[in-house]
Amino acid sequence: NEIDIDALKAHLSSQLTAYMVPQAFVQLEEMPLTANGKIDKKALPDPGKEEEKVVLPETECQKAILEIIKKIIGEVPVGITTDLFAAGLSSLGCIRLCTMLAGEFGKNVTIAELFETKTVIDIEKLLETKEEGEEFELRKEYPLSMTQMGIFVESIHYKDSTIYNIPILYELSPEIDMNRLRLAIEKTLKAHPYLSMTLMVNEEGEVFAVRSDEIKVEISEGTVLPSDEELVRPFDLTLGEPLCRIGLFASNEGKYLFIDTHHIISDGESLSILMEDINRAYLGENVEAEQYTGYEAAVVEKKRRNSDKFEKAKEWHDRIFGNCKKVTLPPTEKATATDDDGNFVLTGRISANDIRAFCEKNRLGLNAFFTMAMGLSLKVCTGSENAVFASIYNGRNDSRLNRSIGMFVKTIPVSISPSPQMDISHAVGECQKMLLNAMSCDIFSFAEVCSTYGLSSDVLFAYQGDQTDDAILIGGKEAKEKELGLGAFKAKSPFGLDINLKDDKVVYEFEYDTEMYGKTTMERFYKLMEEVIQGLLTCRTVEDVLSLSEVKEFRAEQELVEKKDIPDTVKDSQGPKETAVAFEGSKQLEALTEQILEIFRKTLKKDDFHLDDNFFEYGGTSLLAAKVMMAIMVKDYPVVYQDIFNKPTPRQLSEHLFLKIKDQWNEETVQNQIDQTNEESVTVNEYAKALSHNLPQYLDNIKTEGLGTVLLTGATGFLGIHVLRQLIDSGTMKVYCLLRGGKIGAMRRLRESFFYYFDDLDEDYFGNRIVAIEGDITDAQSIKKLEEYDINTLINCAASVKHFADLEFLKNVNVYGVANLVDLCLKKDIRLVHISTVSVCGERDVGSNGETTLRENALDIGQQVESNGYVYSKYLAEKLILDAIEEKGLNAKIIRMGNLMSRYEDGEFQINFNTNNFMNTLKSYVVLGCFPVQDMDEEDEFSPIDEVARATVLLAGTNSEFTVFHAYNSHTIEMGDLVQALNDNDLKVDVVDEKEFNERLNRALMDERINRFVSPLVNYKTDNDENIIENDVDNKFTVKALYRLGFHWHITDNEYIENAIAMLKTLGFFDI
């Protein structure tokens, strides 16, 4: 039947934000399928764009709105029912539209409201509901915006720095009357009250903006122009003084105006407004006083954050960034040139007018065009699936802020992941919608985005628009801006790029951390951007752009992907290993500790927070850390921002502060006590050298490097095939796969396994980037042949995973095969990455003393492993590798796995699912139809195979000193959740007491028809079961390492569990 497209659109619009609603629909009789029964995306027709009828305006209001729209987007076919964003309304156009609507109708409209009302008719209805003015009560104290709070935190951290100063110095015309200029400045300051704002911190550590007519910005005067260092000084945000300094200097050399504002009260556009109004005031023109200031803007933001709009904004961010991974342009080289200060400007060769014409023709915004170019370039550099980075916009999404002075600029997250087959104009259009959505949802702050999704502003991009040479006028005369020598420059992000258009040229302004990058990196990235931009102008699809020879050549070289050593000058911010020290008999310390604990509890709003609890593990953030610091400061304790991070528990912080304030305390004695405690806490480790760095305090230096050419064993296995896919997706240019050929040959066997799990990879990769080598790790001749290949990294996924087989059979692959690989790696200087299992934790006797948890810095904890042949063989293999690291300098890593489960993205499970021990155990309960109630709260983990593969490739490239990782999902689930999911899928499993469960199990074991299906429940039992217990496993070190590498495990929610079980049920796994 014919689908009603209008009804479908209406339904989607009621369920999704505008960004998610498709713009084109194509109805097919059936979906084209691949040989594996999956949708053949390449065979889908191009949906194109639907032609829409232009409906003419019917009312005077509609005519006025339409005239404004045409002034912004040009003379394009637009009616009163046209989707304005589909017609080409850009992010910058939205801001103009808000301003022009306010000027025409006297009513305020925000970007967020525009996005919800995206047609002329909808805007008319919105205006009808608006009142002409909103009243605000005058207060003394006002909140800060979330952006301002972020600046406050950073400013406290860099207390003695000028990185957040915005100073300008103008040489004035000799004709300027300095007294008249002073009066003009005073008049302008009165019109813009936020310039006189001061900050206050209450006893709870909360920061407020204080508004008072009594506090004036001082205008200093002099006959000598001070030095740059005397002019530009750090602001102290805690003194309650204005954060604006103005100076007028009439010297023999000339007349000067100096203005310096802290970024927390102003931004670039604010300074432009300030200079324009000073000029107007000097010329006797009217300077209109702000009616809607930064004070009211912060109040409105707080109100919106406490409404359902905040939840809607968060929901949008969840959809777009919930599955994204942090992307960082890898460090490549420390700047070596003495003149490399971290600023580098290059002018492009591509015509800016050609870009303008392309965007005008396709109804696209320039911001979206350059943002797409940035995203695609970043994808090429990092090999990431999604290019995730930060961008900024002026934040004036409220028309009332048009002439206001304050800090309104917002940082927003950007995700670029267009389909390779997507048309260029369509891809840029989708980018444009995403930017608009990000702006409309900016009440969910960038700081919250970073903490929620593990993202960062390591890469910051901004399109700054047209660069003009318009003169600054002061007193009607041209003023010349003088360069200020501000000393050492500090980039606000490791890698930043601003793009400006100047006449027919594209100007690239790079700002970067010279400890991580140099001009060579900037030049290479500039050249790549130029190639991508040219591709966007000339190619048809995204895939065509990424397939350009120059772009592919850049990717092949991998110079930006292969991370070199981070310089020694990068400091360890975690501080020394923490040890609790007892300060006996100190009443002062007890009182201090009680105060600090209370501050932590109030800040976190957790009464059950205790002395040794870690602030950041209980929800602490950088903003809350600042609040803790301020609450301590008002009690006159000498705390600094970094203390909260270095001493994150109340006990640690109290003892640290006590040492600072108690002069009579013998600090040397205390340090000796700490050292002695540290020495006593060190566990004797058989592999002290090989395992010593697998501790959290060393993770600040962790980085991941390119793997070079890779040899992969076990490539047709569930893990191996996903590691292969991840290697290709992350940019590895050559992967050799060692596998047995059998009757059909190695390459065919590899291709068939690959296309069972994936159907969207270019077949040309096989034989080029993916090369099959027939062989076996247990065969000496196969290993000898591998010496002919140029290999940098060997990832060993090959293993015999039969838990109950002859020990020698298991050793053949799991131990002797590994020994062959170790010899090869030592001979050819290859990095070995060996896949093991957390099951090497083994068992222990109930009540036994000693270590009971296996961590990444140990192998031997006194466990028993001999009872399980598979576990024992994996344990022996680890000992073999650690011996080689310790004694022969082998460059190797051991990655221990947990429960490998279905893919997170689509629930795909391994082809031989009957070999999965955990799932076979689950099937046993289905066959029995019951589960013991006493085990309902037992916890286990599901590690999605696609996430495990991604973690494996990241960890494989880390520094050589990190040798063991536990790559399993840190989020656990209870068996009760699994039982519920089984029942939800109509797999009836009753919860029964222990007696009934054992009775049913015994009956099933006696029934020859089903006993093999319940055998997993008894296979691991021994005669000594009552006296044996499994050791615990901990992966906090690996989780922290992965967070630093931009990776986090998804929470195992009910949807994932139910999808996994539904997939297995569809495949007949639970049938008997």
Same-domain check for residues 954 and 823: yes
The tokens describing 312, both together, are: 């809607």
In a domain, 271, yes or no: yes
- CA 584 to chain centroid: 44
Q: Which residues contact 596 (CB under 8 A, 6 or more apart)?
A: 632, 650, 653, 654, 657
Kindly state the DSSP code that residue 491 receives in the 8-state scheme.
-
Q: pLDDT at position 175, please?
A: 95
Say if residue 76 is in the same domain as residue 52.
yes
Examine the domain organization and report whether 290 and 396 are in the same domain. Answer: no
DSSP label at 462?
A: E
Strand partners, 393: 410
Nearest CA to 733 among 868, 504, 553, 942? Answer: 553
Query: Is residue 59 included in any domain, yes or no?
Result: yes
CATH number at 62 reads: 1.10.1200.10
Same domain, 358 and 502: yes
Distance between CA 675 and CA 146 in Å, rounded? 42
pLDDT tens digits, one per residue of 815-826 = 999 999 999 999
Low-confidence ranges of the chain (pLDDT < 50): 19, 558-585, 663-684, 1022-1023
Among residues 760, 704, 703, which one has the least CA distance to residue 728? 760
Question: 545 and 500, same structural domain?
Answer: yes
- CATH, residue 217: 3.30.559.10
Residues 328 and 451 grouped into a single domain:
yes
Domain range holding 678? 587-682
Question: What stretch of H or E contains 102?
Answer: helix 91-105
Half-sphere exposure of 34 (CA within 13 A, CB side): 14
Residue 408: inside a domain:
yes
220: number of Cβ within 10 Å: 11
Domain-located, residue 1004: no
CB 217 within 8 A of CB 237: no
- The answer to whether the pTM exceeds 0.95 is no
Distance CA 509, CA 496 (A): 8
What is the pLDDT at residue 764? 82
CB 541 within 8 A of CB 421: yes
Considering the domain boundaries, does residue 907 fall inside one? yes
Assigned domain for 993 exists: no
SS3 of residue 913 by DSSP? helix
List, for residues 51-69, the tens digit of each pLDDT value.
567 888 889 999 999 999 8
Counting every residue written for the chain, the total comes to: 1072
**Quick one: the chain helix, strand, coil %, rounded to 5?**
45, 15, 40
Residue 1010 falls inside a structural domain:
no
Q: Are residues 223 and 314 in the same domain?
A: no
- Specify whether 168 is located in the same domain as 123: no
How many folded domains does the chain comprise?
5
Do both 14 and 148 map to the same domain? no
Residues 264-303 have pLDDT tens digits of: 999 999 999 999 999 999 999 999 999 899 999 999 999 9
- Tell me, what DSSP letter sits at residue 158? T
Query: Which residue in this structure is represented by tokens 């860099």?
Result: 158
SS3 635: coil
Residues 887 and 959 in one domain: yes
The phi and psi torsions of 330 (rounded to 5 degrees) equal -60, 140
For residue 495, give both structure tokens. Answer: 């890698």
Last residue of a domain, one of 129, 157, 184: 129
- Asked whether residue 177 falls in the same domain as residue 112, the answer is no
**Close Cβ partners of 637 (under 8 Å, ≥ 6 residues apart):** 592, 657, 660, 661
CATH of residue 532's domain is: 3.30.559.30
CB 803 within 8 A of CB 872: no
CATH at residue 852? 3.40.50.720
Tokens standing for residue 543: 């895939």
How much is the pLDDT for 928? 94
**Residue that finishes a domain, picked among 264, 279, 298:** 298
313 in the same domain as 190: no
**3-class secondary structure, 828:** helix
For the beta carbon of residue 227, count every other beta carbon within 10 angstroms.
9
Query: Domain end: 654, 682, 710, which one?
Result: 682
Residue 439 domain flag: yes
